[in-house]
Amino acid sequence: MKHLIDIKNLSIEEIDNLINVAQDIMKNKEKYAKKCEGKKLATLFYEPSTRTRLSFEAAMMELGGNVLGFSSANSSSASKGESVADTVRVIGGYADIIAMRHPKEGAPLVAVMKSEVPIINAGDGGHNHPTQTLTDLLTIQCEKHRLSSLTIGICGDLKFGRTVHSLITAMSRYQNIKFVLISPKELKIPDYIKKDILEKNNIDYCETNNLEEYMSELDILYMTRVQKERFFNEDDYIRLKDYYILNKEKLKNAKKDLCIMHPLPRVNEISTDVDDDERACYFKQAKYGKYIRMALILDLLEVK
Ligand code: NCD
């Protein structure tokens, strides 16, 4: 049985295949409308979500399947003290596949050990978010028509941002990738990502706290919000939350074909005056998320 816990669970070939299927789904929606008839997806969300949960549910519905689940720990038996292991064991009797989001790093791995159905990690604490990364890769492929030879600026909360960790892990496997890591010193990329991913794969990267310093070199600018829920102390959050605000002025030296991405939700880090710039891709990105999740569900359920 296949699961998706970490983006490293997928080879480059498997990722390419998912991207191809997602692109085919975008062109031929009717062909896929009944592929999951009679199947159910359970969404077990112990942490807030808008895009991830609803795009998973929309994905399953567009494949002709059904959905069930909960959208907060409070409305599930987790609030009575039930373990993740027991919950997934039970849900495996009600659904064919589970997408799960949990505030604890590693919770989806615990789920895999007890689950009789495929588990998809829809975000575990400040650790990983592989389906956001698949969304990001589909976005880059559709907008830039390549996944290699790119200079990628990643800005904001690189410490707690799980989408950042999974994106760097994935992109480090492609040729000729360069990263510009833009963050305040308190929110720098964790050492394990530097050592085990960037340095191990000889990836060209630099760190700066200045958003404009390398702007003219970037092919992609991936903005992220400061992850309020992972802070231990409210004062630190308040001090750092508006550290970066991308606006039209800051884009004046940027390439004409820059692709501006953001996993969303946006708080203040991109000014709304950027939204009508043709380089703003973040709302399109959210849309791509549904199609790549359709491709992933088909793959994990081994639907031909
Ligand atoms: C991200 C997440 O949950 O990590 N959101 C998402 O899934 N699109 C990013 C965030 O919450 O900042």
**What's the CATH number where 51 sits?**
3.40.50.1370
Catalytically annotated residue among 102, 129, 165, 290: 129
Residues 141 and 85 in one domain: no
Residues 69 and 178 in one domain: no
Q: Is the CB of 165 under 6 A from ligand 1?
A: no
Residues 109 and 173 in one domain: no
Look at residues 116, 100, 227 and name the one whose alpha carbon lies nearest to residue 161. Answer: 227
Residues 262 and 143 in one domain: yes
Distance from C-alpha of 108 to C-alpha of 51, rounded to nearest angstrom = 19
pLDDT at residue 300, rounded to an integer: 98
Instruction: Give the DSSP per-residue string, 223-262.
Output: E----GGG-S-HHHHHHHTTS--B-TGGGTTS-TT-EEE-
Instruction: Give the DSSP per-residue string, 281-293.
Output: -HHHHHHHHHHHH
Q: Are 62 and 37 in contact (CB under 8 A)?
A: no
Catalytically annotated residue among 43, 52, 131, 169: 52
Residues 18 and 44 in one domain: yes
From start to end of 119-219, where are the E strands? Answer: 119-124, 150-155, 177-182, 204-208
Give the count of domains, the chain: 2
Distance from C-alpha of 296 to C-alpha of 292, rounded to nearest angstrom = 6
Q: How far is the CA of 298 from the centre of ligand 1 (A)?
A: 23
What does the pLDDT look like over 28-74, one tens digit per residue? 999 999 999 999 999 999 999 999 999 999 999 999 999 999 999 99
**Range 206-218 average pLDDT:** 98
101 is catalytic: yes
Query: Containing domain of residue 43, as a range?
Result: 7-128+289-300
pLDDT at residue 125, rounded to an integer: 96
**Range 226-246 average pLDDT:** 96
Q: How far is the CA of 263 from the centre of ligand 1 (A)?
A: 6
Residues 163 and 214 in one domain: yes
Strand (E) or helix (H) holding 132 = helix 130-144
At 170, the pLDDT band (50, 70, 90 cuts) reads very high
Q: What are the phi and psi torsion angles at 189 (to 5°)?
A: -60, 140
Give the helix ranges, DSSP H, for 183-230: 191-193
Distance from C-alpha of 190 to C-alpha of 194, rounded to nearest angstrom = 7
pLDDT at residue 10, rounded to an integer: 98
pLDDT at residue 204, rounded to an integer: 98
Q: Are 127 and 106 in contact (CB under 8 A)?
A: yes
Residues 75 and 164 in one domain: no
Q: Is the CB of 121 under 6 A from ligand 1?
A: no
Residue 45 bridge partners (DSSP) = 101
Residues 105 and 165 in one domain: no
266 is catalytic: no
If DSSP codes are grouped into helix, strand and coil, which group holds residue 276?
coil
Residues 276 and 134 in one domain: yes
Q: What is the mean pLDDT of the chain?
A: 97
pLDDT at residue 36, rounded to an integer: 98
